[in-house]
Each structure stands twice: as C-alpha cells, then as structure tokens.
Structure 1
Amino acid sequence: MSDIAQTSRAGAVVVFYNPDAACIERANRLAARMHCVVVDNTPGIRAAGELGLAGSIDYLPNGENAGIATAINQGVEALLRGGFDMAILFDQDSEPPASLFTELPKVIACANDSGERVALAGPAYDDRRLGGVAPFVRFKWWKLERIAPEGDQPIDVDFLISSGSCINLRWWSDIGPMDDALFIDFVDLEWCVRAKTKGFRVLGVPWVRMSHELGGEPVKVFGRSYPMHGPLRHYYQFRNVIALMKRSSMPMTWKTTEIVKLPVRVLIYCCFPSQRKEHLTMVWRGVRDGYRGRLGAYRRG
C-alpha cells in the first residue's frame, strides 16, 4: 500500500447476508490486507470462528436482516471508533483489484491535503453479463448523462454504487449516515445526493475497475440486458424510488429520469420473469408504501 494510503488509515466494511464459503474466503483475504469489519445481516447469531472468519476481523452479527444502510452505518461507526480516516465498502461477493486499495485512498488523501471537499471516490464497475464496463453518470433532464470511464483524472459524478467505493470519514458527521429507513436500494444514491447538496464532491476513478454483478441473471429485452431481482427486492426498488421522488431534497433532474424509467421497469420486471403475479403484487405494494411513506423492513399488510 502506498505511503499516503497507510498514513490515512483506510479500513474495509463488508456486509454479509447468508454468506457461502467463497464469501468467507474473500473476507479473510481482505483482512490480510487491511483492517476489516464484517457486519452480518444473516438471521440467527453465529460466532466468527464458527463461520471460519479470521481472528483479526471485527465481526458484528445483527442476528437479523437489518438492511444495507444500517449495516454500512454500523461498520463505518466501528472504523471511526478505531480512528480510521476512510471506509472502503464491499458487498460479500465483491472482487476488488489490488489497485483499488491504493488508488482510491490516494485520491481521497490528495483531496484532503489540497483542501478539496471530496466525500466519496469509487471505481468503474465491470458486469460482463450487462455488456462490460458501465459508464459513470450524471443527472440530466429526462435521462442520465453517461460518461465513459476513461482518462487519468477523477471524474465528478452524481452518484456511485456503494460496493467498492471509499468514503472520506473526515466528512461523515457533516453529511450524516446512510438512511436506515430505505433499508436497501437507492441507499447509496440518496447519500451521494445529500453529500453533493452539502457541497461535497463524488468522484469516479476511471483507471480503477472492479468486477461486480448487479442482481440475478439478466433478461434481454429488445437486445438490451437488464439486471433481474426477486419480487421482494423489486418491492424495495419501487417503494424507495416513489418515497424519494416525494422528497424536495432530491434533484428534479433525477426525478424526471425516474418518471421515464418507471413504466419500463414495470414492463420488464413484471412481464418477463417467472412468478409474474408475485412480481406485480410486490411492485404494487412498493408503490403504495412509498407513496404512504411506509419505510423500513418490508411488513406485509
């Protein structure tokens, strides 16, 4: 690791949910590189040794699915208590390249040294099932501006997915934690919007690329691949987008892109997968609960 990254003390936060042996091995490899906090959202309490986790890992079992937002907040708070300056976030199946551990902290450390207010830096991600390296994005009226991840300078973007991204903990208390009420989906987007609203920058780092799969097996519609999820996940997606569209803090440019995308999502998620009735039911419940402001973990009824 570079001197500047070592001086800045970057730690990792990994969120577990029903991890398999490969997830455990990835966490152990990560812990051999840097301090690692594992927050486990798997129902039921298990000991770290029972899972096969390395003794150096700071293991925080919730005993239930507390949601991705709460898990990230718990991991970040653990790093703050340990005196760390940055938190690199990972899903349990993330496969980060070696360059991520040096380059992202370096971008943050350089920004701090020069007095720039950078909240987050993250890699471009590569999902071969969805066509390769995804562009970075900015919000524009009625559509997203897609920016090719090219060049040797960080790129100002409007949001980054949480997995693989590096949070500058210098500004954590100014921006505030992830929104627990969202539970999962749009958690990272809402936090990035909040950071930018408060005058902080969100940077895509084009020369760092991480393999990352979004959702389950994609479906192809008119030659384009779309990530597919289960009915419950679609509940959260539709609920949270409706809830966020009602917030004045969210930019109108983002809201207009979602107005365009919502009917397309309904068509794809409810007509193409198996269990069409279950998908449509959960989408409707999500829209209803989002409009009512009923957030947190899904509750039937």
Structure 2
Amino acid sequence: MLPSAPSPVAIGITVFRPDAAQVAALSARVAAETRPTIVFDNGGLPASAAAQLSEHGARVLSAGDNIGIGGALDAIARAAMEAGAAQVLLLDQDAAFTPGQVSELEAALARLRSVSPPPAVVGPRPEAAPGRKAPSYPRRPDVPDGGSLVPVEFLATSGSLIDLAAYARIGPFRSDFFIDGVDLEWCFRAWNRGYGCWMETGTALPHRVGGGVIRSTWLGIEMPRQPLFRMGAYLRNSVYAWRLPHVPRRWKLRQAAYLPLQALLYWADSGCRPSVLAHLAGAVLDGLRGRLGRPKGLS
C-alpha cells in the first residue's frame, strides 16, 4: 500500500513482460525510493515479483490484461491523486532515472508556476541509449525559453512529471490509441487548453525505444526498428490525428510528408515483404476510418 501521508510527487511505472534483469532493477528502485510508487502491470509481471514490490511499499495495479499505455497511465494518475500527490512522474520499465533527477524536475515545475501558460508537464532532455534512437521534441513556436527550460510541442511520457491539477482539466490519455502517439496527442491537447509542455535541458534520460535503428542516407531519415504491430499503430494513430482540431496544421503537414517515407523505409528494412506492406496499408486505412483500439498483430 502507498504511504498514508501525502507526498508532492508519486512515481508511476508501467511494465509489460519484463525480463529478470528489469524485474530486479525495478525491485531495487522501489526499495530505495522514498516517494510513493505505483506500478501498473500491463501483463507478464510474475506474481512473486508483484508480491515483492508490494512488500517494498509499492502499490501494484493490474487490469488482468494489456490495456495499452494510455489506460495504464490513467490508472496511475488516478491512484496518485487518490494518494494525495500533486504531481506524478511517469516511467517505463527501462527508465534509469534517479531520485535526484526527480527533484530536479520538481524544482523545474515550481519555477514554471509564474509563467503563462501554466505548465502541464516537464520532462528531461532525451538521449539515445546505445544502439537506439532518441525521440526529438520540436520547439513550440512563439513561446520564449525559461533559462534551461524549453517549450516543446510534446514529450515522451517516460520521464515526464505531470501536474495532476492540470491533468484533471486537460483530460485523460487516449486509451484507444493504445500505445503510439498517446503522449503526442495529450500534449497537443494540453497546449490547446491553455497549458504548456516543457523540457528541462539540464537533466537527461536515455531512451530505449525499439530494437535498433533503421537508417536511410538517401531519404535522410532514421527511425526506431519496431515490431510490425507497433509500426502499424504508429501509422494508424498518426493518420487518425489529422482529424483532431487541437493537433496543429503544421504538424499534420509535416506528418503527411514524413509518414510515407517512414513506411517505405520500414518496408524496405523488412525485405519488401508483401505481407508487411499489406499490414501497413491496412493500418493507414484504419486510421482514416477511425478504427482504433488494440493494434492488429499484438499477441
């Protein structure tokens, strides 16, 4: 159970089929953490590991099935608010983020209280873990920097410190997106509803998205190497987001030019298999028709 005394910051960690090393690292983190910790099991966390985490003071949540990252993050946010927390730091099972860095983000959020628009979220500068590609956060136009704090269009949820009062007004993450684009859509919605999203350049978090990097010198792009179901979900959700009024036109135009190149590069990396092309085309069609939810091909 979570501590009875409210804490300004709760830690929320999502897990999905963690391996033994990830379970061990998670257990050590929970044991060393003084802040209340909420772990959401989206599937694959051994019962013995869940029991050990609970013994160390974490609250372990599960829906009994994989409900996607959006649903898991919303469950964590609700639990954090019920525990009396004012902010929640979201992490995935791979994130190596120290308690000191949590304090740095907490201080950054406090510095942003005097700016307009008020902050919804602040996160660290992204770095690439070895052999991976770091996400990039486009700068938000027409909003000045605040020292080491840079206004950005969106941030990855892992490493993000969310103001829970702002979250209550902005609304929950889109559970029907399931996995990809959840963070992007929520941040665009935050800006649209009068809140800001900020990157603290003074602290960094390595990202381990995908299983390597796909590069094309000819096309001038690189992207994470993802399972087919994730690439399909990314295309589907990106195409669906074109109909959302709070997603800026500049982003829609950028994606309209970029998505075909990414799909082509992914297909070429697969060996130009017809089944992969059919899956990607079907994902785009699902996005156009608004068929969201659990991605096709996810076991």
Specify whether residues 48 and 198 from structure 1 end up closer, same or farther in structure 2 by C-alpha distance, changes over 3 A only: farther
Q: Aligned-pair distance for 1:156?
A: 0.9
Specify whether residues 274 and 216 from structure 1 end up closer, same or farther in structure 2 by C-alpha distance, changes over 3 A only: farther
Aligned residue type for 1:179? R
User: Higher mean Cα deviation, 8-17 or 285-294?
Assistant: 8-17
Specify whether residues 12 and 129 from structure 1 end up closer, same or farther in structure 2 by C-alpha distance, changes over 3 A only: same
Match of 1:88, SS?
strand
Determine whether 1:171 maps to 2:181: no
Structure 1: stretches of 5+ with no match in the other structure: 1-5
Specify whether residues 70 and 113 from structure 1 end up closer, same or farther in structure 2 by C-alpha distance, changes over 3 A only: same
User: Higher mean Cα deviation, 98-107 or 51-60?
Assistant: 51-60
1:246 corresponds to which of 243, 247, 267: 243
Q: Give distance in 2, aligned partners of 1:278 and 1:172.
A: 40
Specify whether residues 28 and 252 from structure 1 end up closer, same or farther in structure 2 by C-alpha distance, changes over 3 A only: same
1:152-191 deviations in Å (ceiling 9; x for gaps): 5211111111110100112111100101111111100000
Equivalent residue, structure 2, for 1:47: 47
Judge conservation of contact 1:124–1:134 (CA < 8 Å) in 2. no
- Number of equivalences: 287
Determine whether 1:233 maps to 2:230: yes
Q: Give distance in 2, aligned partners of 1:119 and 1:89.
A: 13
Q: Aligned-pair distance for 1:281?
A: 2.3
Match of 2:294, SS?
coil
Aligned residue type for 1:137? P
1:119-149 deviations in Å (ceiling 9; x for gaps): 0000011114568876531367xxxx9xxxx
Q: Give distance in 1, aligned partners of 2:99 and 2:110.
A: 18
Aligned residue type for 2:178? F
What is the root-mean-square deviation in Å for CA atoms of aligned residues? 2.8
Specify whether residues 114 and 269 from structure 1 end up closer, same or farther in structure 2 by C-alpha distance, changes over 3 A only: closer
Q: Give distance in 2, aligned partners of 1:200 and 1:126.
A: 25
Equivalent residue, structure 2, for 1:74: 75
Q: Give distance in 2, aligned partners of 1:224 and 1:11.
A: 37
Specify whether residues 7 and 153 from structure 1 end up closer, same or farther in structure 2 by C-alpha distance, changes over 3 A only: farther
Equivalent residue, structure 1, for 2:262: 265
Q: Aligned-pair distance for 1:113?
A: 6.7
Aligned residue type for 1:105? E
Q: Give distance in 1, aligned partners of 2:50 and 2:197.
A: 38
With the length of structure 1 as denominator, give the TM-score of the two structures: 0.86
Aligned residue type for 1:67? G
2:293 corresponds to which of 292, 296, 300: 296
Equivalent residue, structure 2, for 1:21: 20
Structure 2: stretches of 5+ with no match in the other structure: none
Match of 1:137, SS?
coil
Match of 2:154, SS?
coil
Judge conservation of contact 1:28–1:54 (CA < 8 Å) in 2. no
Q: Give distance in 2, aligned partners of 1:260 and 1:132.
A: 20
Equivalent residue, structure 2, for 1:100: 101
Judge conservation of contact 2:133–2:224 (CA < 8 Å) in 1. no
Match of 2:139, SS?
strand
Q: Give distance in 1, aligned partners of 2:254 and 2:140.
A: 8
Q: Aligned-pair distance for 1:195?
A: 0.4
Specify whether residues 258 and 132 from structure 1 end up closer, same or farther in structure 2 by C-alpha distance, changes over 3 A only: closer
Q: Aligned-pair distance for 1:214?
A: 2.0
